[in-house]
A and B are shown apart, each in its own frame.
Chain A
Amino acid sequence: MQVIMKGICFSILFVLVSNQAVSQNGNYTSITFKKSVWSGSSYVGDLSDWVHFHDGNATVVEYRAPESSFSFSAAIREAEDGSNELESLVGATEIGGAYLKIETGGADGQIYNDDPFEPVLMPETQKFTTQLDIVALGTQWKNDTGIKYGMAWVHLKQPAEIDLTYYSIFPSSGGGAFAPSFAHSAIDPEFSTHIIGAWADVDSLNSFMKGQSTIYSSPTISGNFLRGLALDVEIVAGLYFSDPGADLETAIKEKYGLDYEYVDSSGLAWTVSYKLAYNLVYRSQEELAFGIQIGLEGRALQTLFEIPEDKTVARRDQVIGKIGIGDNDSYQWGPYLRLAMVY
């Protein structure tokens, strides 16, 4: 419900901001049928051992007015159980030469361990909500090249594994085979990573539909038909900092009687979203074109370099939590089919 309300507010804001900017010619609209990137089988990497989403399909409706750079996209995700949720909402416009893009989205998931005896502390509640927000501000590189660049802020909230370090010697006398064990790590179901950095966006499809090349596409033209591969890429690379979501302090105190301390993690990270597709476009006139796109889309987020901060356990009843490089990496993908029209 929160995501839907946010979506409605977001839509109203964008329509208001962009109302004057919409062009009457060269508009692009499309409908996309895709396997949701927030699906169990589409979520790979270390976290996939614990993170579970319903498999689902999403329908995406998109509209763009390229001359004003206004675009709007909404993805509705239908899960296997028939429930619907707003998976993502993207809006962009150009105001006075500055290009602004806002994206928000996410999905509900469940977290559990198929191997309950693994030394990992799992959260009490099994439900969590992922969240991906992007705000980008930049400018077009020349006209009709489909390339934009500037600065962006990315916020990704998703499960992460936090390593736990204890005092080195725990007494074992009296415990024997029944001595309690301490988990090596804890799962924070809603751990946030923020990235602020350079942003670049290559939008090949729109240029392709108009018979133009970008650095990642070069259509082959025969008569009224254009065909070939195209790659849309959006990259943000820069500084990251983290923000834990779970109250591990209370959980560890209750379970183990130890005082928990979290060590902040910051450094350099990057995120990329991509659409690799084969396009077939029919252009009947200069302003009218129909296109079919079959492709694969996905995204990845990686923390690459951490500003090192060494720490030592000072007290015997202390446990220090720290997220390691790669412990909240995210890799998602899914196939899609898009029908598009420029008019």
Chain B
Amino acid sequence: MKLSNPDNLLKTITFFLLTLMLSACEGEINTNENAFGDVPSPISNDADNNDDYFHATILTKEVLRTDSLSGEDMVDYFVVYMGNQVYKTYTIDLINLSGEGNADIELMSEYSNRLSWSDNEGAEPDTIKYWRGYTKSEGEIVYIRVINRSGTDISYSLEVN
């Protein structure tokens, strides 16, 4: 059978592909209980640090929380428990920004995907209205990132309703 004949070439390709479809395999990546080194430890409500996803401060709904940012503390993380199957519109307010500083807020899923954001200029308050509807995955917690845009010292208040 000459492969230079396109008819034979097509038959060969078809046979080859069908064979491969039945025997498809792939490499495997394994987890490892004996891996060395340290792993970032998720400790929520760490009193000394809420600078990343793993150390977010627990924010209670309808309670005003005051915190601050600086040139060295550029982002604060907060975590909010929305409850099981509580479908409603949540309002997140960033208010009482001090001085000439500029800070913005982002709402993140528990897998750190951005759901919504507000980025008003200067010390103007930021508000996110987020409708939590039914989703197959039924996530119950969300994260809020407060980001220092001006790099200056800023105090602020944050509230979720």
Contact = CB atoms under 8 A, between A and B. Distances in A.
Contacts of A179: 42, 44
Interface string A194-215: 0000101000000000000001
Sort chain A's interface into a size bin.
Answer: 35 or more
A305 B43 CA distance: 42
A96 interface: no
A306 B53 contact: no
Contact of A309 (B27, B33, B45, B114): B27
A313 interface: yes
Nearest to A320: B29
A268 B29 contact: no
Sort chain B's interface into a size bin.
Answer: 35 or more
Contact of A258 (B9, B16, B23, B40): B40
A324 B53 CA distance: 28
A166 interface: yes
A276 B146 CA distance: 55
Interface string B112-153: 111100000000000000000001111111010000000000
Contact of B35 (A113, A175, A318): A318
Contacts, number: 185
B86 interface: no
B7 A215 contact: yes
Interface stretch (A27-35, A69-77, A118-126, A153-161): A118-126
B81 interface: yes
Q: Which of A116, A177, A215, A306 has the most CB of B within 10 A?
A: A116
B139 to A, nearest CB: 3
A304 B21 contact: yes
Given A180-B110, A306-B25, A257 B32 contact: no
B10 to A, nearest CB: 6
B63 interface: no
Contact of B42 (A115, A149, A170, A183): A170
B32 A113 contact: no
Nearest to A306: B26
Nearest to A270: B17
B28 interface: yes
A163 B31 CA distance: 13
B111 A141 contact: no
Interface in B26-77: 26-33, 35-46, 52-54, 56, 58
A256 B40 contact: yes
Contacts of A118: 111, 135-137
B1 interface: no
B41 A322 contact: no
Given A117-B135, A200-B13, A316 B27 contact: no
Interface string B5-22: 111011001001100110
B24 A200 contact: no
A325 interface: yes
Contacts of B114: 124
A160 to B, nearest CB: 14
Contacts of A324: 26
B97 interface: no
A200 B27 contact: no
A256 B111 CA distance: 9
Contacts of B46: 174
Contacts of A170: 39, 42
B155 interface: no
A318 B37 CA distance: 9
Contact of B17 (A119, A141, A237, A309): A237
B20 A174 contact: no
A314 B39 contact: no
A143 interface: no
A314 B10 CA distance: 45
Contacts of B9: 149, 198, 200
Interface of A: 113-122, 124, 141, 147-149, 163, 165-183, 198, 200, 215, 235, 237, 255-258, 263, 265, 267-268, 270, 304-318, 320, 322, 324-325
Interface of B: 5-7, 9-10, 13, 16-17, 20-21, 23-33, 35-46, 52-54, 56, 58, 79, 81, 109-115, 135-141, 143
Query: Shortest 3 CB-CB distances between A and B: which pairs?
Result: A117-B139, A174-B43, A168-B31
7 contacts: A115-B136, A119-B111, A141-B6, A256-B54, A270-B17, A313-B31, A318-B35
